[in-house]
């Protein structure tokens, strides 16, 4: 029997019993669609996180106080448990290394904002003008923080657009005095809406000079120093230089951690790829279940068409031909399921993208290929047993069952 004829015969057999075929195709389709949609979600999450990190700024090197990397045991680590403060002067010194374009000290705390009786809890970031430049933040109204000596605590603040809406409720904000953690501070600017950011949302932020925040939170140590390297190629150099400089400044102790955004990104990327794969694996279980359903359907088909199998044998079909015909039928069920499932999955991903435009839910190609291949393989594997049962039937007994 020719290949095309086997396929046509199998297709006619599959479509000859629409309900039974429809149900097993649906089961297979749900399995494939589950893989496609779930991996689209996982990969969308990955893309989303990566893009959000990128929006923090480009060529970013970040200095954290404390030693978090596992460098093995050293006596120095054992003796001095408390790290030295990461100070504003450290941030100033970092600026003098050749690979560094900009640096911004950052100190973060929560405080209470009060304007004519309207109160709310806010996140206060103490920083400098360079922070706005590194993160690409623009003023909607007024100005940004003044380009001043970093150690001067000018009582000024730049507020996020959401804070303005909530606290000033439509009134002009720039030039007004607010109370911020008991201090009287003048609002000099309102930030343009920034969209979402990882960690904190600039729309809900109040930014003040770093020295002011140190006074407010009674702290000498910085939360971070954000550094922008001169170019992508300068990132590693900046990281090395900054680490060496701070080690010297801190009496030879490596008590800060310098990370690059690339490293953070790579970690998140790896994590979310693993997560996506795990989710795909779980969804693939439904493909195995669908495969078992295909087997069940094929066993029913073999029983139901016993007379037909006997006839085919009487007409001169070889055992191999009958096996191929039933295997092809299982394959047809799987193919229809895979195609329908892929369509459903893509539609699901499209629906997610439509309702959450910020979320790039595109199924990765590897997942689509894996889902379709798995569905075909399970369908054919689980079709083997029914097909071999059909091919081994005794033609005389088969013909009597009509």
Partner 1 sequence: MALIELVGIERVFHLGDTEVHALSKLDLVINDGEYVAIMGQSGSGKSTLLNLLGMLDSPNEGVYKLEGIDVTTLTPDEQAKIRSQRIGFVFQSFHLVPRLTAAENIALPMMLAGIPAVERARRVDKALQDFGLDKRSDHRPDQLSGGQRQRVAIARATIMQPAMILADEPTGNLDRATGEEVMHLLEGLNASGVTLLVVTHDPVLGARASRQLVMEDGKLITDKNNSASSSPTLPD
Q: Are strands 156-159 and 183-191 parallel, antiparallel or unpaired?
A: parallel
Q: How far is the CB of 287 from partner 1 (least distance, A)?
A: 28
Question: Are the CB atoms for 62 and 253 separated by under 8 Å?
Answer: no
Give the residue carrying structure tokens 């889902």.
Answer: 371
Contact between 399 and partner 1 by CB under 8 A: the answer reads: yes
CB atoms closer than 10 angstroms to residue 195? 11
Residue 40's nearest CA partner among 354, 293, 392 is 354
**329 binds partner 1, rule: CB under 8 A:** no
Task: Number of residues interacting with partner 1: please give it, by CB under 8 A.
Answer: 26
Three-state SS across 74-88?
Answer: CHHHHHCCCCCCCCH
Binding-site member from 69, 271, 320, 373 for partner 1 (CB under 8 A): 320
**Is residue 18 at the binding interface for partner 1, with CB under 8 A as the rule?**
no
| CB of 351 vs partner 1, minimal distance in Å | 37
- Closest CB to partner 1 among residues 5, 233: 5
Give the number of other Cβ atoms within 10 Å of residue 399's Cβ: 17
List the interface residues with partner 1, window 168-197 (CB under 8 A). Answer: none
Residue 80 makes CB contacts below 8 A (sequence gap 6+) with 253, 255
* H or E, element range at 229: strand 224-229
Per CB under 8 A, the list member of 84, 164, 250, 313 interacting with partner 1 is: 313
Residue 195 falls in which region: left (phi positive, over 0), alpha (psi -120 to 50) or beta: left
CA distance 284 to 39: 11
DSSP strands (E only) in 252-369: 256-260
Does residue 312 touch partner 1 according to CB under 8 A? yes
Separation CA 129–CA 258 (nearest Å): 22
Min separation Cβ 296 and partner 1, Å: 21
Q: Can you tell me the distance from the alpha carbon of 205 to that of 365, in angstroms, rounded to the nearest whole number?
A: 39
Q: Per CB under 8 A, does 395 bind partner 1? A: yes
Measured from the CB atom, the residue of 1 and 92 that comes closer to partner 1 is 1
| CB closer to partner 1, 21 vs 276 | 21
Question: Quick one: which segment of 129-137, 205-213, 269-277, 308-316 binds partner 1 (CB under 8 A)?
Answer: 308-316
Distance between CA atoms of 80 and 251, rounded to whole angstroms?
Answer: 12
Contact 206, 124 (CB under 8 A): yes
Only one of the segments 8-16, 42-50, 83-91, 180-188 lies at the binding site for partner 1 (rule: CB under 8 A); that segment is 8-16
Binding mask of the shown chain, residues 59 to 88, with x at each position contacting partner 1 by CB under 8 A: ------------------------------
Q: Which stretch binds partner 1 (CB under 8 A): 11-19, 119-127, 185-193, 286-294?
A: 11-19
282 part of the interface to partner 1, by CB under 8 A? no
Contact 98, 20 (CB under 8 A): no
Smallest separation, CB 26 to partner 1 (Å): 21
Under 8 Å between Cβ of 241 and 252: no
Judged by CB under 8 A, the stretch of 9-17, 130-138, 267-275, 295-303 that binds partner 1 is: 9-17
CB 29 → partner 1: shortest distance, Å?
23
Residue 19 touching partner 1 (CB under 8 A): no
Among 119, 314, 351, 358, binds partner 1 (CB under 8 A): 314
Task: Decide if 314 contacts 398 (C-beta within 8 A).
Answer: no
At closest approach, how far in Å is the CB of 348 from partner 1?
34
Q: Nearer to partner 1 by C-beta: 158 or 398? A: 398
Point out which residues bind partner 1 (CB under 8 A): 1-2, 5, 9, 12-13, 15-16, 307-308, 310-321, 395-396, 399, 402
């Amino acid at each position: 029997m020719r290949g095309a004829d086997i396929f046509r015969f199998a297709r006619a057999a599959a479509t000859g019993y629409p309900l039974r075929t429809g149900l097993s195709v649906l089961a297979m389709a749900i399995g494939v669609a589950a893989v496609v949609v779930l991996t689209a979600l996982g990969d969308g999450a990955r893309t989303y996180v990566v893009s959000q990190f990128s929006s923090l700024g480009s060529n970013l090197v970040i200095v954290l106080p404390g030693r978090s990397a596992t460098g093995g045991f050293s006596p120095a680590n054992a003796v001095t448990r408390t790290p030295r403060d990461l100070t504003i002067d450290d941030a100033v010194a970092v600026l003098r290394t050749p690979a560094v374009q900009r640096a911004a000290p950052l100190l973060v705390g929560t405080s209470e904002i009060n304007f004519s009786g309207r109160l709310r809890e806010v996140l206060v970031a103490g920083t400098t003008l360079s922070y706005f430049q590194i993160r690409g933040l623009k003023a909607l109204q007024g100005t940004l923080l003044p380009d001043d000596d970093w150690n001067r605590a000018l009582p000024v603040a730049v507020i996020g657009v959401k804070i303005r809406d909530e606290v000033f409720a439509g009134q002009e904000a720039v030039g007004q005095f607010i109370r911020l953690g008991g201090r009287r501070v003048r609002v000099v600017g309102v930030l343009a809406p920034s969209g979402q950011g990882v960690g904190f949302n600039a729309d809900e932020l109040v930014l003040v000079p770093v020295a002011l925040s140190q006074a407010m939170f009674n702290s000498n140590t910085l939360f971070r120093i954000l550094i922008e390297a001169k170019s992508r190629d300068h990132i590693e150099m900046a990281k090395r230089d900054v680490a060496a400089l701070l080690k010297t400044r801190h009496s030879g102790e490596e008590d800060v951690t310098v990370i690059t955004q690339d490293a953070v990104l790579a970690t998140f990327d790896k994590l979310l790829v693993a997560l996506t794969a795990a989710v795909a694996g779980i969804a693939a279980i439904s493909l195995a279940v669908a495969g078992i359903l295909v087997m069940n359907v094929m066993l029913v088909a073999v029983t139901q068409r016993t007379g037909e199998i006997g006839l085919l044998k009487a007409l001169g079909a070889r055992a191999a031909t009958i096996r191929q015909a039933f295997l092809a039928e299982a394959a047809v069920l799987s193919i229809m399921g895979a195609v329908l499932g892929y369509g459903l999955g893509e539609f699901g991903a499209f629906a997610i993208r439509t309702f959450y435009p910020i979320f790039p839910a595109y199924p990765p190609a590897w997942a689509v290929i894996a889902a379709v291949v798995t569905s075909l393989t399970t369908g054919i594997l689980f079709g083997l047993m029914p097909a071999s049962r059909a091919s081994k039937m005794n033609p005389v007994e088969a013909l009597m069952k009509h």
